[in-house]
Amino acid sequence: MKSLGVRAGILSVVLFFAFCLVWQIAVTPSASSGPALDPEYAKLMGITTAGAQSAMPGPVEVAGKLWDALKDPFYDNGPNDKGLGLQLAYSIGRVAIGYGLAVLVAVPLGFLIGMSALAYRALDPFIQVLKPISPLAWMPLALYTIKDSNLSAIFVIFICSVWPMLLNTAFGVGAVRKEWLNVARTLEVGPWRRAFTVILPAAAPTILTGMRISIGIAWLVIVAAEMLVGGTGIGYFVWNEWNNLSIANVIVGILMIGVVGMVLDLILARLQRRVTFPE
Amino acid sequence: MAEQNPKFISIEGISRRYPKREGGVTTIFEDLWLQVARGEFVCIIGHSGCGKTSVLNILSGLEAPTDGAVIVDGQAIEGPSLDRAVIFQGHALLPWKSVMGNVAYAVSSRWRRAGKAEVEERARRFIDLVGLKGSEMKKPAELSGGMRQRVGIARALSIEPKILLMDEPFSALDALTRGTLQDEVRRICTRTGQTVVMITHDVDEAIYLADKIVLMTNGPEAQIAEVVENPLPKDRARDSVHRAADYYPLRNHLVDFLVSRSRTFRDDKPAGYDPRHPPVVRIGTGAPAADIAPAPALAAGAP
C-alpha cells in the first residue's frame, strides 16, 4: 500500500490522460459524419481539408503550440505577435504594480480603521458599497480621468485588490486578543512598538488571508481588463488569438493563466504559513 | 520587615460600577479598603462575580476604579506600570514568540536601552529560575499548560516589579502541576521578599501561599468581610503544612466563609463593622479547634 500522496498522484496522471483521450476522440473527424460540403463552399468557409477537420484542436496540437510558445517565450514581432512569456510578463507587471499599491494603501489604512471602533463603523457602509462593484465597471471612469489605457488597467487592479485587504486588515487588527494588548500595556509599551510587536504579528495571518484573496481577484481581473484595453498582456493575447481564430493558442493562453494564478496563490500561501502561529 | 511600611499598597475606598443596559447601575463592589505591607503575600478569595479580578485589574492599572484610589509606595496608580507585573489567568503569552522571545520582550520593555546580549542574558536567568532551561527556543504551543504558566511567571519576575499581581494563575492547571507551581512561586517569593497580591478561589492555595487572606463577600456590592492572618509558620512546607495545629481551624474558617458567610455577611454584619478597617482575624493561637469554626473577629480592630 503506497502513501496517499503517491496514489493521488497516480490517479491525477490517469485522469489527465483519460481527459486527453476523450478530447482527442471528440475532435477526430469521422469519415461518415457530417454532410458532404460543396468544396467551393468549404473553401469559402476556410475549411480546407476534405475530411471536415474541426476547428477545435486536439491535445496533440495544443501540446505542439505550447511547446512552440515555451521554446521562445520572449520574442517580439510587433504588436500582433509577441511571445507568450512577454505577454505574461506584461500582465504580471500590471498586477504587481496595482496590487503593490493596494497593499501600500490597504494595510496601513486598514490598521488605522481597525484600531478605532469609530472609524470602523463610520467607513463600513462605504466599503460595503464599493466592495461588490465589479472592477471593470470602473474602467470607463478610469479611462476618462486617467486617459491612459495601461494606467487604467493598473487602476482597475488596484481597486479590485484593495477591498479584501482593507477589510481583513481592519478585522484582524480589531480582533487582536485583549490579553495580548494588556500584556503590552502592563509593560508600558509605546503605541508604535505595540503596533509592530503585538498588533501586526497578531493580525498578520488575517492580513495575509486578505492579501491572498486579493491576488486571486487581481489575476482574474487583469485578463478581462486586458481584453478591454488591448495592446499587451495575456488577456489581450487570448482575445487576439481568438480574432486570429487560433483556438490552440487560446487554450495555451488559458493554461498559462491557470498556471501563473496557481503560482501567485502558492507564493501567498507560503507567506501566510510563515506568519501563522499555532495557539 | 512588614512593619516598616504597612501601607506599601493602600487601597482607599475603591468601587466599581457598570451602567445597566435597562438603566441604573450595577455595583460590583464598593468602598474597599485594604493595606498591604512590603514583602507581604496577600490572597484575595471569594466567589466568582465578587469583583476579585476587577480589584486586581485596578491594582495593575488596566482598569480604573469608579471611585476611590490605590496608592502604591506613595504614588497613586494612574494606568499600568512596569512596577507592577501581572501574571494573567490564561498565561497571555505571545504565541508567535518563543519562550525566550516572550521573556526578552518584557526585559527589553523594562530596560529599553539594554543591548540584545544583556536582555537575553537576563531573560535566560529568569527562564532558568522557573525551571525551563533548554526550552528557550520553543513556542508556547509546544509547551504544556504548566510550562506556559512558568513562562508567564518568568516574564513577570524578569522586570523586577515592586508588586507581583496574580489573577488565579493556576486555576487552569491540573492539581499536580498546580502544586509544583505553587511550590516554585512560594520559593521564589519568600527568597526575594516579593510583595504579592493574588486572586484565588482555592482555599488550600491561599493557606499555603498567603500571609494574609482577604475574604470578599459575594457580588454584586461585594465587600471585604475580613482579613485573616495566616497563623502557620513562615517556613511551612507542602508536605507538612496540613499537619500544623492551626491548619484545619483556618481551613474550616475559610470554607465556612465561602460556603455560607460570603452570602449572608451583607445582611448580618458583625457589630461595629467598618469597611475602612475590615476586621483582622487571627485563627488558632491556642484556641481549641471546636470554638473557632464560625469565628467572629478575635482580634478585630484597626491595622
H-helix or E-strand spanning residue B25: strand B25-36
From chain A, pick out residues whose CB is under 8 angstroms from the CB of B109. 187-189
Chosen for mutation from B96, B111, B113, B160 (greatest number of chain A CBs closer than 10 Å) is B96
- Cβ neighbours of residue A246 closer than 8 Å, sequence gap 6 or more: A65
CB B41 within 8 A of CB B209: yes
Predicted ipTM of the assembly: 0.84
Q: Is B92 left (phi over 0), alpha (psi -120 to 50) or beta?
A: left
Find the residue in A nearest to B161 (Cα).
Answer: A187
DSSP state of B143: S
SS3 content of chain B, % helix, strand, coil (to 5): 35, 20, 45
Task: Say yes or no for a CB contact (<8 Å) between A183 and B94.
Answer: yes
User: What is the percent of chain A with per-residue pLDDT over 70, rounded to a whole number?
Assistant: 92
Size of interface A-B (CB pairs under 8 A): 55
Joined together, the cell numbers standing for residue B285 give 493561637
Q: Is A202 on the interface with B (CB under 8 A)?
A: yes
Task: Say yes or no for a CB contact (<8 Å) between A278 and B81.
Answer: no
Joined together, the cell numbers standing for residue B83 give 512596577
Residues B87 and B149: their CA atoms lie apart, in Å, by 8
Average pLDDT for A129-157 = 91
**What phi and psi, each to the nearest 5 degrees, are found at residue A231?**
95, -70
Find the residue in B nearest to A199 (Cα).
Answer: B94
Joined together, the cell numbers standing for residue A116 give 478605532
Q: Is A216 helix (H, G, I), strand (E, B) or coil?
A: helix
**What phi and psi, each to the nearest 5 degrees, are found at residue B236?**
-65, 150
Residues B140 and B150: their CA atoms lie apart, in Å, by 11
- At residue B51's C-alpha, the angle toward residues B215 and B282, to 5°, is 10
Residues B142-201 pLDDT 10s: 999 889 999 999 999 999 999 999 998 888 888 888 888 899 889 888 888 899 999 998
- Whether the per-residue pLDDT at B303 is higher than 60: the answer is no
Residues B78 and B71: their CA atoms lie apart, in Å, by 9
From chain A, pick out residues whose CB is under 8 angstroms from the CB of B60. 186
Residues B126 and B132: their CA atoms lie apart, in Å, by 9
Cβ-based burial of B103 (10 A; exposed 0-12, middle 13-18, buried ≥19): buried
Residues A21-41 pLDDT 10s: 999 998 887 655 455 666 677
Residues A78-125 pLDDT 10s: 877 888 999 999 999 999 999 999 999 999 999 999 998 899 999 999
Q: Is B153 on the interface with A (CB under 8 A)?
A: no
Residues A157 and A32: their CA atoms lie apart, in Å, by 50
Maximum mean pLDDT: which of A72-76, B10-14, B100-104, B170-174 = B100-104
Residues B119-150 pLDDT 10s: 999 999 999 988 899 999 999 999 998 899 99
DSSP state of A195: I
Task: Say yes or no for a CB contact (<8 Å) between A277 and B105.
Answer: no
User: CA-CA-CA-CA torsion for A231, A233, A234, A236, nearest 10 degrees?
Assistant: -20
**What phi and psi, each to the nearest 5 degrees, are found at residue B36?**
-125, 130
- Whether the per-residue pLDDT at A8 is higher than 70: the answer is yes
Closest Cα in chain A, distance from residue B62 (Å): 7
- For A57, B39, B43, B199, B213, the CA distances from B226, given in Å and listed in that order, are 91, 20, 12, 15, 8
Closest Cα in chain B, distance from residue A210 (Å): 20
Task: Say yes or no for a CB contact (<8 Å) between A186 and B62.
Answer: yes
- Cβ neighbours of residue A158 closer than 8 Å, sequence gap 6 or more: A98, A99, A101, A102, A105
- Which is higher by pLDDT, A135 or A33? A135
Residues B93 and B149: their CA atoms lie apart, in Å, by 9
- Cβ neighbours of residue B52 closer than 8 Å, sequence gap 6 or more: B44, B45, B46, B167, B199, B201, B216
DSSP state of B13: E
- For A167, A213, A274, B62, B92, the CA distances from A200, given in Å and listed in that order, are 15, 19, 14, 22, 17
Task: Say yes or no for a CB contact (<8 Å) between B96 and A277.
Answer: yes
- pTM recorded for the entire structure: 0.83
Task: Say yes or no for a CB contact (<8 Å) between A279 and B95.
Answer: yes
Closest Cα in chain B, distance from residue A189 (Å): 6
